[in-house]
């Protein structure tokens, strides 16, 4: 699944590229359409910022593999914590946990 963002002006394109770039999001840029991998937090954020965003496609495989990567990073961070509190922040989620690993 992808996010499709319609832009109408170069100023809007600049704002959008800034938002995507600051989050290190890959994008496919067309004349007035920008596509990027679907992420719920990004979708909501861009909508809140006033961009015209749409979900495109039914294929959820990109999002599932992306989510699995974040889950693996979280699992590794917790296993390496050894008794400390760990906070892991991803594109759209923040996890905190205390561990009792010795």
pLDDT, tens digit, for every residue of 29-80? 998 999 999 999 999 999 999 999 999 876 555 556 666 666 666 566 555 5
The whole-number pLDDT of residue 56 equals 87
pTM to 2 decimals? 0.56
Of 69 and 96, the structure prediction assigns the larger pLDDT to: 69
Sign of CA dihedral 19, 28, 47, 52: positive
For the chain, the domains span 2-59, 65-98
Classify domain 2-59 by CATH architecture: 2-Layer Sandwich (3.30)
Nearest CA to 1 among 38, 47, 52?
A: 38
pLDDT, tens digit, for every residue of 3-33? 999 999 999 999 999 999 999 999 999 989 9
d(CA 15, CA 83): 42
d(CA 53, CA 10): 17
Question: CA angle, 19 as apex, 15 and 25 as ends, to 5°?
Answer: 135
Q: Are strands 85-89 and 28-29 parallel, antiparallel or unpaired?
A: unpaired
């Amino acid at each position: 699944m992808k996010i499709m963002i319609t832009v109408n002006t170069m100023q809007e394109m600049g704002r959008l590229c800034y938002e995507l770039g600051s989050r290190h999001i890959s994008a496919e840029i067309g004349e007035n359409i920008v596509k990027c991998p679907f992420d719920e937090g990004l979708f909501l954020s861009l909508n809140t910022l006033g961009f015209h965003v749409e979900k495109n496609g039914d294929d959820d495989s990109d999002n599932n593999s992306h989510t699995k990567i974040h889950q693996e990073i979280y699992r590794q961070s917790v296993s390496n914590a050894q008794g400390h509190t760990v906070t892991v922040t991803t594109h759209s989620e923040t996890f905190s946990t205390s561990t009792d690993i010795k």
